[in-house]
């Protein structure tokens, strides 16, 4: 993955970027919404289009879009706990981990995810890369999820790197847009991993 310049800091998304967890997340969504009596509420296509958005925000959007009332907090918790049981099945996305290893120890790094920090930390632990990051920003550390740039800007500030000197690795449109709004350059990893 060639970079346009030598970065001052690197920011990685977690799900779908560092780890191949997106099918597991969708499986958790399906199980949760099916149990809640909404089997047709969230298509796989829509799930991937909204990649990077926190679960609570996804449920808000779904309720608005379909004109239904959802127990947002309860369903968010249920979805995340359902996903947590699936985490041991995750696999690494090796080309992205190779980039991480290439810069580890020379460039400060962070993770910015729409997932709960405890679940992101668990993913990083399974991958054996938690110590590579100076900060992990999850959905609970920001007031607005991607495509809002809040998480990206918080990571850059913590790393002590100007936003324009950061490179963001992302797999979802919302994360790429968040990077753009933060004044950062983004690498769309889907163009490199197929």
Domain end call among 56, 88, 120: 88
Same domain, 61 and 107: no
**Residue 1 counted as domain residue:** no
Same domain, 65 and 104: no
**Residue 82 counted as domain residue:** yes
Retrieve residue 155's tokens. 């990571």
Q: What is the pTM of this model?
A: 0.90
Same domain, 150 and 67: no
User: Considering only 2-16, 103-117, 126-140, 169-183, which range has the smallest mean pLDDT?
Assistant: 2-16
Provide the pLDDT for residue 6. 83
Provide the pLDDT for residue 53. 85
Smallest CA-to-CA distance from 193 within 49, 3, 10, 18 is with 18
8 A C-beta contact, residue 152 and residue 178: yes
Is pLDDT above 80 for 16? yes
Rounded to 5 degrees, φ, ψ at 184 are: -105, 160
Same domain, 14 and 60: no
Between CA 99 and CA 192 the distance in angstroms is: 12
**Residue 114 counted as domain residue:** yes
Same domain, 126 and 180: yes
DSSP structure class, residue 36? T
Provide the pLDDT for residue 170. 96
Domain end call among 88, 109, 130: 88
8 A C-beta contact, residue 74 and residue 171: no
Provide the pLDDT for residue 64. 95
Q: What is the pLDDT of residues 53-86, one digit of tens each?
A: 889 999 999 999 999 999 999 999 999 999 999 9
8 A C-beta contact, residue 16 and residue 85: no
Q: What is the pLDDT of residues 107-123, one digit of tens each?
A: 999 999 999 999 999 99
Same domain, 108 and 16: yes
Domain end call among 38, 70, 88: 88
DSSP structure class, residue 15? B
The count of domains in the chain is: 2
Same domain, 46 and 60: yes
Is pLDDT above 70 for 1? no
Q: Which domain holds residue 39?
A: 22-88
Smallest CA-to-CA distance from 148 within 181, 116, 171 is with 181
**Residue 102 counted as domain residue:** yes
Is pLDDT above 90 for 194? no
Same domain, 109 and 15: yes
Answer yes or no: 188 catalytic.
no
Indicate the Cα dihedral angle 160, 163, 168, 173, nearest 10°. Answer: 140
Q: Which residue's entry shows tokens 């970079």?
A: 3
Give the relative orientation of helices 150-159 and 173-181 as an angle to the nearest 10 degrees.
60
From the candidates 13, 148, 171, 188, give the one annotated as an active-site residue.
13
Provide the pLDDT for residue 192. 82
Same domain, 77 and 98: no
Q: What is the pLDDT of residues 139-185, one digit of tens each?
A: 999 999 999 999 999 999 999 999 999 999 999 999 999 999 999 99
Q: What is the CATH number for 123?
A: 3.40.50.1000
Q: Following DSSP, what letter does each residue of 71-119 receive, concatenated? A: -HHHHHHHHHHHHHHHGGG--B-HHHHHHHHHHTTTS-EEEE-SS-HHH
Taking phi first (over 0 means left), then psi (-120 to 50 degrees means alpha), and beta for anything else, what does residue 91 get?
Answer: beta
């Amino acid at each position: 993955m060639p970079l346009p310049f030598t970065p001052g800091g690197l920011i990685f998304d977690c799900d779908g970027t560092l780890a191949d967890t997106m099918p597991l997340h969708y499986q958790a969504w399906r199980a949760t919404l099916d149990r809640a009596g909404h089997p047709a509420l969230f298509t796989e296509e829509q799930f991937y289009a909204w990649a990077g958005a926190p679960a609570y925000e996804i449920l808000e959007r779904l309720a608005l879009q379909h004109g239904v009332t959802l127990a947002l907090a309860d369903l968010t918790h249920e979805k995340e706990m359902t996903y947590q049981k699936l985490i041991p099945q995750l696999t690494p996305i090796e080309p992205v981990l190779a980039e991480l290893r290439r810069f580890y120890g020379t460039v400060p790094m962070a993770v910015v995810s729409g997932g709960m920090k405890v679940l992101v930390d668990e993913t990083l632990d399974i991958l054996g890369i938690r110590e590579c990051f100076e900060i992990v920003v999850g959905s609970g550390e920001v007031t607005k999820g991607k495509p809002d740039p809040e998480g990206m800007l918080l990571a850059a500030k913590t790393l002590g790197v100007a936003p324009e000197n950061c490179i963001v690795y992302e797999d979802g449109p919302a994360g790429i847009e968040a990077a753009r709004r933060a004044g950062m350059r983004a690498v769309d990893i889907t163009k490199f991993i197929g």
